[in-house]
Amino acid sequence: MTPSVAFAKAAVIGTGQMGPGIAATLALGGVPVTIVGRTLDSARHGLRMARKAILALEEHGIVAAERSNRALEHLDESTEQEETVAGSDLVIESTPEDLAFKQDLFCRMDAVAKPEAVLASNTSGLSITAIASAARNHPERVLTAHFWNPPHLMPLVEIVRGEKTDPDRAIVLRDFLRSCGKVAVIVKKDRPGQLGNRLQSALMREAIYIVQEGIADPADVDLAARTGFGLRMPAYGIFEHMDNAGLPLVYSVIDYVTKDLCNEPGAPPLLREKIDAGKTGAQDGAGFYDWQVRDVRAMRERRDAFLLDFLKRYNPGW
């Protein structure tokens, strides 16, 4: 395969939070996409959500009406998984984060997919090498395509190569996703957390530790992140910041600060205490915040409004 090869037909397996947004992205890239659900109702739900995502992008001026209309025509739904996989050049699954489940799925897909097809997982943390071990015929065509949530708004897609992944196939998928308007990066080693989640996990661990140590409250930690370093990150990244500040200064600060950072090999105890107390997050009414008095829907709407405004101004290529 060479990077100039296009995908003529794609399939997305999964109709939950991620699948429809992924399907919308592929359709906006000009490829016919079939959303596969376990039932007709779930497949139709996935199709509705994918269409809704595309129309939201059009409504906010991110996607032109002509391109939106073409993308809508490229969407279809099905419950026939094997038949759809067999007819597709690219399959992206977004199913539960269960290794055994995904291994069984990739075993079945590997048995029916075209030899040249690319089979990708949207897993955010499972080893793609372990998933690909079930694809005994062609493990070289299995890789991770981790879209960030919400997938139709977040630019980043992490393409993770497993131990047997053909590097050229990763390049093909990267270039295709870039043509869909995504910012696709290749992660060359299959390690826990991939790339973005490794960075995010380190940040979350330190944020919890700060609260645990009584250094600051959750609201002030969030405010500092949102209005401090987080605000400038869309303009320049971590290594750009370090070079801009000067490496001698960076060395001095890191050498001094890291001695006091959380260095526990697991999650900070405060997180376990919250879970054991039944404070598991917004879905249960409490986590680090009291979601009986906070509106989680308003928070998500604020997030999506910000992302839509950012995409409208920055426009990564749609």
**Domain closes at, from 153, 187, 221:** 187
Q: What pLDDT is recorded for position 315?
A: 62
Q: What pLDDT is recorded for position 244?
A: 95
User: Is 67 inside a domain boundary?
Assistant: yes
Token pair of 108 as six digits = 């079945």
Q: Are residues 158 and 260 in the same domain?
A: no
Residue 82 C-alpha from the chain's centroid: 25
Q: Is 156 helix (H, G, I), strand (E, B) or coil?
A: strand
pLDDT one-digit tens code per residue, 196-229: 999 999 999 999 999 999 999 999 999 999 999 9
238-245 vs 247-257: helix crossing angle, rounded to 10: 110
176, 7 Cβ separation under 8 angstroms: yes
Q: Are residues 178 and 91 in the same domain?
A: yes
Q: Are residues 41 and 152 in the same domain?
A: yes
107, 65 Cβ separation under 8 angstroms: no
Q: Are residues 238 and 149 in the same domain?
A: no
136, 143 Cβ separation under 8 angstroms: no
Q: Are residues 166 and 122 in the same domain?
A: yes
Q: Is 21 helix (H, G, I), strand (E, B) or coil?
A: helix
Q: Which residue has the tokens 């490496």?
A: 247
Q: Are residues 90 and 161 in the same domain?
A: yes
Taking CA atoms, 265 is separated from 6, 15, 87, 258, in Å, by 44, 35, 45, 15
Token pair of 195 as six digits = 């790339």
Encoded amino acid at 213, one letter: E
Q: Are residues 130 and 225 in the same domain?
A: no
Low-confidence stretches of the chain (pLDDT < 70) are 1-6, 315-318
User: Is 272 inside a domain boundary?
Assistant: no
Q: Are residues 215 and 148 in the same domain?
A: no
**CATH code: domain of residue 259:** 1.10.1040.10
Q: Are residues 28 and 108 in the same domain?
A: yes
Containing structural domain, residue 290:
278-318
Q: Are residues 112 and 152 in the same domain?
A: yes
**Domain closes at, from 136, 153, 187:** 187
Q: What pLDDT is recorded for position 2?
A: 39
**Domain closes at, from 187, 219, 243:** 187
How far is 287 from 207, CA to CA, in rounded Å? 14
Q: Are residues 23 and 161 in the same domain?
A: yes
